[in-house]
Amino acid sequence: MDKKPFFISTAIPYVNAKPHIGFALELVQADTIARHQRILRGGENVFFLSGTDENAIKNVQAAEALGEKTLSFVKNTGDVFVELVSKLHISTNDFIKTAQDPRHKAGAQKLWNACKKEDIYKKSYKGLYCIGCEEYKTEKELINGECEEHPGKKVEVVEEENYFFRLSSYQKQLEELIESDTIAIIPLTRKNEALAFIRGGLEDFSISRSNARAKNWGIPVPADMTQMMYVWFDALSNYINALGYADESEQYKKFWVEGETMHLIGKGINRFHTIYWPAMLLSAGVPLPKKVMIHGYIVSGGVKMSKSLGNVIDPLLMIEEYGADAVRYALLRHIPTFEDGDFTREKMKEIYNADLVNGVGNLLSRVMKMASTHGVSNSGHTVVYEQEREFDQLLANHHLSIAITKINECVALADEFIQAHEPYKLVKTDPEKAKEYIKESLADLDRIAKMLEVVMPETSAKIFECLKENKMPETPLFPRKD
């Protein structure tokens, strides 16, 4: 068992709207990795962080549109994200809220003050601003005056005096860190994307907003009460603030300074995590993250999800209809880990019936019926299948969607074994041999339940309970959806 501490975080989404299925994907991906690492390292050596980004201007605008005060709005919407974490059985160690947690304000201001004085300067600036990204854009980044990430919304022309961070000073150092995998970016396509952005020339970026434009919402710039921190400067610091960076806690030292650190994010915020964040940490003299894993987007019917198109999927409604483990499985197995994947309500139903009802659900019923009828008990599995080894290796390398195919292969092999030997018939002519075969089938269930622990924890627990009690499940593991 590897005893070195391991830290993993999701990105922290804006709370201007309820969580979407893309954040659910990120949660279950990170949770699967965290659960696997706890098996490898022990629970006390793994720290899993998620949270919400409450300080964005777009959150203020969303509150104003509803006629609500910003603080009450972010609290109420943020509670829905906490509910999603709970209902998806996400095993976070902490969940940080950037406007409500005093650790965050203290840590963000400490990081600002820790940056080299020559790296932060003030100047007047005029630029094209995308509210959706909370970022200034250059003309070459726009398509018909619109941000690629937020089509249909024109960028705004903004002119004001702000503080800037001297990102340009870190161009060569960042390129070397990423090229050498000192900051490992996976997959390779995202590493190359970050390197291409760096080699295109890094420009200094604004790290504050006037109080007027921020509408007095956010974290004040230290020693300048006329400015609020740029949301990305404060938001990125959540990763160390939740660990106790402000007071240099033992937890911060254990997991961030001495541990293996990993961010799991979506492809749209690659540069913030692989370029801006490391540069800020270099300036402040804070250790860098060791790895950044980047997933793609979920599209629906080949089209990016959009409220205006009506193709947005509410993960909480999906959980209510199919159960948490079924949603976890569908997202992990059928969305490629590192690429965009298509997901619709129709596809969810198809996956549920084909993979779960007819797969592990049917296998559990078949095996436990034979075992309970003929008094055969589980004695565990001693032979390790090649699929189990491959499953662990794929998980270690974060190839989650491929790893789950190994569980499916074990289910298929278990079904084939029953079909080949037909113990339910053999019991009439050779009961002892039939019982040996049933015991083999119980061992197959045992290995499948073990593999499912990190992917579908509730399902795994139910299978183990049936094996322990040597009984049929009281209700179908996955009731069929017609």
pLDDT of 57 > 70? The answer is yes
What are residue 214's phi and psi, to 5 degrees? -80, -10
Contact 329, 455 (CB under 8 A): yes
Q: How far is 417 from 385, CA to CA, in rounded Å? A: 14
Q: What is the mean pLDDT of residues 115-131?
A: 86
Pair type for strands 146-147 and 94-97:
unpaired
pLDDT category at 270 given cuts 50, 70, 90 is very high
Residue-wise pLDDT for 298-314, tens only, equals 998 777 776 556 678 99
> What CA–CA distances, in Å, run from 3 to 38, 39, 258, 339?
10, 11, 12, 32
pLDDT category at 434 given cuts 50, 70, 90 is very high
**What pLDDT, on a 0 to 100 scale, did the predictor assign at position 310?**
67
Which domains are assigned to the chain?
345-469 (1.10.730.10)
Residue-wise pLDDT for 335-366, tens only, equals 999 999 999 999 999 999 999 999 999 999 99
pLDDT category at 141 given cuts 50, 70, 90 is low
Lowest mean pLDDT of 19-23, 37-41, 298-302, 332-336, name the range.
298-302
Question: What type of residue sits at position 37?
Answer: Q
**What pLDDT, on a 0 to 100 scale, did the predictor assign at position 42?**
87
In sequence order, the 6+-apart residues with CB closer than 8 A to the CB of 471 are: 368, 372
User: Which parts of 173-245 are beta strand (E)?
Assistant: 184-186, 205-206, 208-210, 220-221, 224-229
Which of the two residues, 42 and 414, has the higher pLDDT score? 414
Question: What type of residue sits at position 448?
Answer: I
Output the DSSP codes for 377-430: ------SPPHHHHHHHHHHHTT-HHHHHHHHHHHHHHHHHHHHHH-HHHHTTT-
In sequence order, the 6+-apart residues with CB closer than 8 A to the CB of 27 are: 10, 50, 84, 85, 88, 90
